[in-house]
């Protein structure tokens, strides 16, 4: 409140420190652009964006170590709200030499008996498995990894398929192999992205500028939303 009171002396100008967060698997895709946007719109704001896991978000917000967090709209407890910005579509990734690679799309039923390389991270784990549960299916989990890139590399090597939401701009893995991304039909991701903050408390002006930067990057003026990609 004191920070906003000082800012009101110059309502057209924001300055000073701002500590915010970005969910760790979203960071490689969105953090650089969000930081660039807030530096462009608020050049005198000293913005530091911390990578955080799902289990850290509630604690860091309630301890006021962070003013807001760009993240998935998981349940972080009664004290945290998420202002939703966009939905992250779900897709399956397979190796180039997979029999499924020539397909234009797949279903969860076609994947369930195949070996799954699961991205195993906090609340993300339950989300991926819930897609199968909701469809009345039981996936065959071959391996679990907490690293997005390890999962992609394992799939490219032919160890199985995976289910993901964030899609790199290229198909290459870190070891130089390629993946094929396939839409999963008959299922909606229901995985929403947005800005988490303390419930019942209005964002301060600098945190709102961060939220606006997230919105500008996810929903550019050309009208193409994340769910269209």
**Residue-wise pLDDT tens for the chain (229 aa)?**
555 555 554 556 799 999 999 999 999 999 999 999 999 999 999 999 999 999 999 999 999 999 999 999 999 988 999 999 999 999 999 999 999 999 999 999 999 999 999 999 989 999 999 999 999 999 999 999 999 999 999 999 999 999 999 999 999 999 999 999 999 999 988 899 999 999 999 999 999 999 999 999 999 874 444 444 3
pTM: 0.86
Domain with residue 141: its CATH number is: 3.40.190.10
Structural domain count of the chain: 2
Say yes or no: 99 and 161 in one domain: yes
Say yes or no: 200 and 178 in one domain: no
**Domain limits for position 165:** 91-185
Say yes or no: 26 and 66 in one domain: yes
Instruction: Give one DSSP letter per residue of 173-215, joined into a string.
Output: -TTS-BEEEEEEET-----EEEEEEETTSPPPHHHHHHHHHHH
């Amino acid at each position: 409140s004191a920070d906003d009171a000082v800012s009101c002396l110059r309502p057209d100008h924001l300055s000073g420190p701002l500590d915010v967060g970005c969910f760790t698997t979203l960071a490689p895709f969105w953090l650089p652009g969000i930081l660039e946007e807030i530096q462009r719109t608020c050049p005198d704001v000293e913005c530091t964006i911390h990578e955080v896991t799902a289990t850290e978000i509630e604690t860091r917000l309630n301890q006021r170590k962070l003013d807001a967090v760009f993240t998935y709209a998981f349940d972080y407890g009664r004290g945290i709200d998420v202002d939703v910005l966009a939905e992250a579509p779900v897709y399956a990734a397979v190796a180039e030499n997979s029999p499924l690679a020539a397909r234009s799309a797949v279903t969860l039923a076609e994947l369930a008996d195949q070996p799954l390389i699961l991205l195993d991270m906090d609340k993300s784990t339950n989300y991926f498995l819930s897609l199968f549960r909701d469809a009345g299916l039981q996936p065959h989990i071959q391996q679990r990894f907490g690293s997005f890139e390890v999962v992609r590399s394992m799939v490219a090597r032919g160890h199985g398929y995976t289910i993901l939401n964030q899609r790199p701009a290229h198909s290459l893995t870190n070891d130089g192999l390629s993946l094929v991304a396939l839409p999963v039909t008959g299922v909606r991701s229901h995985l929403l992205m947005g800005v988490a903050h303390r419930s019942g408390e209005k964002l301060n002006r600098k945190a709102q500028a961060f939220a606006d930067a997230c919105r500008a990057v996810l929903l550019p003026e050309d009208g193409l939303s994340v769910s269209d990609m």
